[in-house]
Amino acid sequence: MTAPIHSEFVEAYGNEALRTIAAVIAWAHVRAVTTGQEQYGAVGEERCGVLRWLQIDADLIKLKGRFPNIDISWVDNDCGKHIEIAAGKFRLLVAHDRNPGAVVPASIYGKTLAQTNTLSLFQELEDPQTTHGKHYYAVLFHSKSDQKGHVPDYLEIRFPAGGNSASEPYAERHLRLYVLFPELAKEEWLLNESSTWATAVRAKEETIQENAIPKLRQAGKAS
């Protein structure tokens, strides 16, 4: 049974956008180890987690403008910046923790998100007519597999419980993306899908570069 907030959230973002966002994250888990090995050898393999974060943030930012109802941007926090994915009144944050059972991520970055989630911005939704201009935050949580180079063990969107408890800021029922999109667990599908968004990004960059090149004046036209 789907919770009402789950249905409303999926409707706001759309299946295509949610699946692509989740695919970017899952593919980074698969690809980061190889990327680290290719660029930095044993050091890159050992510290692939850093490369994974960079790849996730960079690829998500590149999706900006791809989905007309969604805005993807950098937002300041106490530690620097984080990705915020907006659709209507919803704001989606991205958090990682190596402990798949963690409610509040243990990293400094994760704690910053959790602090935001337990404040007034992260409360139970009321009647939409009375919450005009307010945002409802959720967190896309991903935890790495025990085996490097595989899809994350957990890939789910967590919602606030509506209280101010720092120990239990999230509701028990999460929107599990592997259930909604089973293909996310298939590495071959992720590989094929990654070429789709990479091609779209390259085409966009080529258009920008082409538009930046001065055009030759057509023959017979006055300057």
Instruction: Indicate if the alpha-carbon torsion angle 138, 31, 111, 72 is positive or negative.
Output: negative
106: three-class secondary structure by DSSP: coil
pLDDT recorded at residue 210: 53
Q: Residue 135 is encoded by which pair of tokens?
A: 């945002």
The residue among 96 and 114 whose pLDDT is bigger is 96
The pLDDT value recorded for residue 169 is 56
Q: For residues 213 and 98, what is the distance between their CA atoms, to the nearest angstrom?
A: 46
Identity of the highest mean pLDDT range in 90-99, 148-157, 164-173, 175-184: 175-184
- Per-residue pLDDT band for 79 (boundaries 50, 70, 90) equals low
**Average pLDDT of the segment spanning 23-51:** 90
Contact assessment for residue 92 and residue 85, using Cβ atoms and an 8 Å cutoff: yes
Residue 188, beta-bridge partner list: none
**How far is it, in rounded angstroms, from Cα 80 to Cα 74?**
10
- What local confidence, expressed as pLDDT, does residue 181 receive? 97
pLDDT averaged over the chain? 74
pLDDT at 198: 62
